[in-house]
Structure 1
Amino acid sequence: MPRLKRKKSRKLKPIAKILIVVLLVILGCLTFYYVQYYQALHSVNADFTSAKGEDFKSTKDPKLDDFNVLLVGSDSRGSDQGRSDSILLLHYDSKAKKPKVVSFMRDSYVEIPNRGKQKLNAAYSYGGIELLRETIQQNFDIKMDYYLMTDFSGFAKIIDTAFPDGVTITAGKEMSKNIGMTIYPGKQQMDGKTLLAYSRFRYDAQSDFGRVKRQQQVVQSVMKQSVSDISITKIPSLLGLVQGNISTNIPTKLLVNMGQEMYFHPPTGLDSLTVPTNGSYEDKTYPGAGAVLELDLDKNQAAIKKFLNDDKS
């Protein structure tokens, strides 16, 4: 009996060593993730914290397979302080596994509940993300299930962390006015600051319509690179940056499920629509609002519904 015990103890030693090594590796990984996550979380823009805790009243019907997210990009600087600079709808159908984006022109002249007629981006300034949701639902007959709001300075940090070599973009023209840099035409790798400047430039013949097209191009490029370029070691830093630079009511479980679907079944493309659509608006000027886009709401509502329901049987 004693001999058998000694043999067993000798056989267990290699296994014990392996277990210790595995535990040390796990502990090291956890420490690495913990440090990176909290370093990133505490490097965020302190001014953006005041935008959190928005009262977004819409709720998701759990029986539906698709959902709409109101995406808002804001800038706390300059003459448009407090206004939403970018307003998009992200539509995702878990059955079709295909995301779609609707970009709303911020100069669209709409009825803001209890505020009268004004530019669409003024709704956020008047009443935050909830009034913006009410305005879009009232004018375009779209129900928003969730919201996600980001600060532009945080966007640049997230891009640089996720893609240290930059995001591949093909610029169609030279751009420099009011963006603090010169972007030359052609295919190139853009860091976060350059990508932000590229997506916000609007001083050309296309004005805001060109800006919206570039925003859609940026979304497509980031989505395309994210599956292949983001390594597992970047995830903790990204989680910290994302948590600190966005405000959202999207459930964590839904984010994880959507992330898994996009990772294992990458979308082949991203369909996009700009509102107002061609032939559905007029350029007007009104006191107190300035130059605006006066919309034919019936035409735009019909275009949005057709766009969102095209893949459904």
Structure 2
Amino acid sequence: MAELKPKESKKLISKALIIVSLLIIGCLAFYCVQYYKALHSVNADFASAKGENFKSAKDPKMDDFNVLLIGSDSRGSDQGRSDSVLLLHYDSKAKSPKVVSFMRDSYVEVPGEGKKKLNAAFSHGGVELLRKTIQKNFGIPIDYYLMTDFGGFAKIIDTAFPDGVTMVADKDMSKNIGMTIHAGKQQMDGKTLLAYSRFRYDAQSDFGRVKRQQQVVQSVMKQGVSDISVMKIPSLLGLVQGNISTNIPTKLLINMGQEFYFHTPKGLDSLTIPTNDSYEDKRYAGAGAVLELDLDKNKDAIKKFLEDDEI
């Protein structure tokens, strides 16, 4: 093979640099277009409901922390109610997350508002009042919050997992969810996953709904971030930024992402509050059907669950 002359060599290097530069520019353009396209697909009503005055003095380190997870149907000036209320606890030593699901009909003391259903706290004072309510009734300090719009949740799932999330539906369901879901193993897209997690029209009512929410969280985690295509990351980042409101520090989010990418949790321990035999079904004027809790029993159950690494 003939050797290249100095001039030919310089021309070849110049062409290579131009090609590489064009590739880089093309990639950046693709990233920006996909990112901003996803960001501008955000529900404007949810965007206007963001900016929570959440009080936390947590030091952003990778140690134990609690995150309040809220699924909201906020509509602009109408704060809406928190349809889903969960607490994510991360144990830095065990390198594992745990989830506590709170029944939204739990009848509790809402600071400044009196006795009301738990999900009413969000309607009256947003994430901060919900934080105060959970801390007052259950003694749990909450470091961060993460709130998502339901429509945004479906878009995020579809972008992250275009082939769907593997789920095993526990029964046939169709009432008030806008679709029919059949029992058995299947791939669910974002809309189906959302409908499945919100179904409550069976004998288990809200308890069944909370159980399915926990199942959805477990299935998404099991699918793992490693399944997400690199090409989808720009769109996914735009959707996440636009459809999620959170005060979790960027550094902590990066650390968590790296941890879950390289050490995907094998399972997810979960607890539902109220626990069995720790509540009574009641009905009060102005509140309707509620769950009257034995707070001491439930506080003890939460404490044991969060502190016990063997569960």
Give, in whole Å, the separation in 2 of the partners of 1:64 and 1:142.
19
* Alpha-carbon distance, 1:159 to partner: 1.1
| Matches of 2:202 and 2:223, distance apart in 1 | 28
Unaligned runs of 5+ in 1: 1-5
Match of 2:123 in 1: 125
Question: In structure 2, what is the Cα distance between the partners aligned to 1:225 and 1:296?
Answer: 37
Percentage identity across paired residues of the two chains: 81
1:163 — aligned with what? 161
SS class of match (1:43):
coil
Q: Does residue 219 of structure 2 align to residue 226 of structure 1? A: no
Could you say what secondary structure the match of 1:187 adopts? Answer: strand
2:210–2:272 Cα contact (<8 Å) kept: yes
8 Å contact kept, 2:139–2:299 = yes
Once the two structures are superposed, residues 245-273 of structure 1 have per-residue CA deviations (whole angstroms, 9 ceiling, x without a partner) of 11111111111110011001111111111
Hey, what's the Cα distance between the residues in 1 that align with 2:152 and 2:62?
A: 32
* d(CA) in 2 for partners of 1:96, 1:210: 29
1:3 match: none
**What amino acid is the match of 2:187?**
Q
1:301 partnered with 2:274: no
Q: Distance in 1 between matches of 2:105 and 2:55?
A: 25
- Aligned with 1:180: secondary structure? coil
Residue 116 (1) aligns with residue 114 (2):
yes
Q: What amino acid is the match of 2:94?
A: A
Question: Does structure 1 conserve the Cα–Cα contact (< 8 Å) formed by 2:159 and 2:235?
Answer: yes
CA deviation vs aligned residue, 1:130-151 (integer Å, no higher than 9, x gap): 0000000000100110101111
- Conserved? CA contact 1:59–1:146, under 8 Å: no
Deviation at 1:12, TM superposition (A): 4.8
Is 1:280–1:300's contact at 8 Å kept on the other side of the alignment? yes
Q: CA separation of 1:36/1:62 partners in 2, compared to 1, >3 Å: closer, same or farther? A: closer
By how many angstroms is 1:58 displaced? 1.7
Q: Which whole-Å CA distance do the structure 1 matches of 2:255 and 2:62 have between them? A: 15
Q: Cα distance, 1:93 vs. partner?
A: 2.2
Shift of 1:64: 7.0
TM-score, normalising length: structure 1: 0.92
Deviation of residue 7 (structure 1)?
A: 6.5
Q: 1:251 to 1:62 in 2, by over 3 A?
A: closer
How far off its partner does 1:308 sit? 1.1
- TM norm structure 2: 0.93
For 1:189, the equivalent position in structure 2 comes to 187
Q: How many residues align?
A: 305
| Deviating more after overlay: 252-261 vs 227-236 | 227-236
Are the structure 2 counterparts of residues 193 and 41 from structure 1 closer, same or farther at C-alpha, using a change threshold of 3 Å? same
Structure 2, unaligned stretches of length 5 or more? none
